[in-house]
Amino acid sequence: MPASGEWFSPTELTFSSIHVRAKTDWVHLSLGDGSGTSGQGEITSTQLDREVSPVVARLANRLRGQRLTDDSDVLAFNNLSPEQLEEDQNLATAVSGLRCAVADALAQRAQLPLADYLRALHDHEGTPERSVQLYSNINRSMLPDDSGPVDRSPDAFAEMVQRAMEAGFTTAKCAPFDEAQAPFKSSGLPREAEAGLERVRAAKAVVGPDRKLLVDCHSRFDLDSALALEPELREAGAGWYEEPVNPITHTDDLRKIRDKSELPIAGAEHGYGVALFTKLMEEDALDIVMPDVKFCGGPVEAYLIGRELEARWERSVSMHCPSGPLSLLASAHATAAFGNKIPLEHAVYEVEWRHEVMEPFEQVENGYLLIPEGYGLGGRVDPVAIAMRGRTWTE
Ligand SMILES: [Mg+2]
């Protein structure tokens, strides 16, 4: 069956959230046609003061009853340009969630798994892999839980990384510098970075020389401190240097850092659209871009970013995915479709019941996500999990 030519006409919109821990809830939308087809998308926001669901409702209202044949119809029916979405992350999150839900529904109509649908749409030959290699990001497990702050000692970082290595992951990531924030009192290596470097050394001792430890800096440094930190991180055995500064707002600084760095520079998790990621690569700001399916435009846009950039710069795309299992599944389809060279991010050990949120259960084995059988995403957020741990609403 051809992938194009299918259509989906949404008439129903519902939201659900699941409480994860402390400040984190996973938020989802479901778009239905009233006669059995529905698509889902995750709209968990990192901007805690901004609600995405009213924006989704406003955009979805323009889609009601229309015959959608392409996920980009979400932009067309709302007269939105990629430039507007580059500048407004709340809007980009709403659009990405809707585009994901529409692509999920259209792939179901085409009777194809989403990864196969993406390839069929773009005349990309071959069958995508049904499992995707992941790397383990321990960051979320080191943030406060419902009882308060957790142990963030170097030993605690090492123990969590050990758990991931024993589960079969060959790459781990941590964010050890959250106590630091530029500007710093003195020039050179800031004292506030020392505690983070201790955590990196402890974690690397567990990871060993043959496996990788990636380091995310959450944009907590400036040009001077980032230049001083790079050789220390290299010495400590880091495998990449993620966002010492924000790649999108501080592109010039990041280019200077990359110029002097031996470690590969990764980032741009808040970016929207293939044009922006291409520009960051052409401007030599990054070695590896990290599109997030929840912000970058959804799985179709993520596929386009992966396909275009990997063709020009090998090993340049690694999808960012610190959120719930629905966005991991959407990311896995995009990643499998473009044929990733770098593993996909997976936020491990945030809550022990994570896999139960999905129907069928999320399956991670030996560091790989197994994509479930079925059309579209092949999985959905389980209403039972929502009833137990969250709520549903309409806007
Ligand atoms: Mg990051």
pLDDT band at 242 (very low <50, low <70, confident <90, very high): very high
**37-63 mean pLDDT:** 91
Task: Tell me which residue of 145, 64, 52, 73 sits closest to 351, measured CA to CA.
Answer: 145
Hey, which residues does 25 pair with through a beta bridge? Answer: 19
3-state SS assignment for residue 219: coil
pLDDT band at 47 (very low <50, low <70, confident <90, very high): low
pLDDT band at 45 (very low <50, low <70, confident <90, very high): confident
What is the DSSP-derived secondary structure letter of residue 1? Answer: -
Instruction: Give residue 237 CA to ligand 1 midpoint distance, Å.
Output: 18
Q: How far is the CA of 348 from the centre of ligand 1 (A)?
A: 14
Q: What is the Å distance from ligand 1's center to 116 Cα?
A: 28
Sign of CA dihedral 267, 116, 307, 96: negative
- Per-residue pLDDT for 48 more than 80? no
- Cα(175) to ligand 1 centroid in Å equals 8
Could you tell me the distance, in angstroms and rounded to a whole number, from the CA of residue 267 to the centre of ligand 1?
A: 6
Give me the percent of the chain exceeding a pLDDT of 90. Answer: 96
d(CA 293, CA 272): 9
Q: Which CATH architecture has domain 12-112+389-393?
A: 2-Layer Sandwich (3.30)
Interval between CA 155 and ligand 1 midpoint (Å): 22
Report residue 76: phi and psi, to 5°.
-60, -45
224 CA to middle of ligand 1, Å? Answer: 20
Take residue 250 and report the two structure tokens written for it: 């501080």
Residue 49 is predicted with a pLDDT of 63
Separation CA 199–CA 174 (nearest Å): 9
Model confidence pLDDT, tens digit, residues 309-366: 999 999 999 999 999 999 999 999 999 999 999 999 999 999 999 999 999 999 999 9
85-112 pLDDT, tens digit each: 999 999 999 999 999 999 999 999 999 9
Per-residue pLDDT band for 44 (boundaries 50, 70, 90) equals very high
Q: Kindly provide the b/e burial profile for residues 228-254, where b requires at least 16 CB atoms within 10 angstroms of the residue's own CB.
A: bbbebbeebbbbbbbbbbbbbebbebb
Residue carrying structure tokens 């846009």? 301
CA of 29 to the centre of ligand 1 (A): 24
Token pair for 210: 């043959």
Segment 12-41 mean pLDDT: 96
Distance 254 CA to ligand 1 centre (A): 15
CA of 3 to the centre of ligand 1 (A): 34
**Mean pLDDT computed over 201-210:** 98
Query: How far is the centre of ligand 1, averaged over its atoms, from the C-alpha of 65 (Å)?
Result: 38
Whether residue 46 is predicted with pLDDT greater than 90 in this model: the reply is no
Bond into 183 cis (ω within 30): yes
* Domain definitions of the chain by residue range: 12-112+389-393, 131-381
Q: How far apart are CA 356 and CA 219, in angstroms?
A: 33
**Residue in the block written with tokens 């990643």:** 335
Model confidence at 51, pLDDT cuts 50, 70, 90, reads: confident
Work out the average pLDDT over 200-212.
98
Compute φ and ψ for 311, nearest 5 degrees. -70, -30
DSSP letters, 339-369, are T-SSPEEEE-SS-TTGGGGEESPP-EETTEE
pLDDT tens for each residue of 258-287 = 999 999 999 999 999 999 999 999 999 999
162-185: pLDDT as tens digits: 999 999 999 999 999 999 999 999
CB 344: neighbour CB atoms within 10 A? 22
User: What does the pLDDT read at residue 1?
Assistant: 47
Cα 218 to ligand 1 centroid, rounded to whole Å = 6
Please say if the pLDDT value at position 2 is more than 60.
no
The CATH T-level fold of domain 131-381 is: TIM Barrel (3.20.20)
Residue 321 alpha carbon to ligand 1 centre in Å:
9
Q: Looking at residues 74-81, what average pLDDT do you find? A: 98
Distance 139 CA to ligand 1 centre (A): 10
Instruction: Report the distance separating Cα 128 and Cα 147, nearest Å.
Output: 42
The Å distance, Cα 110 to ligand 1 centre, comes to: 35
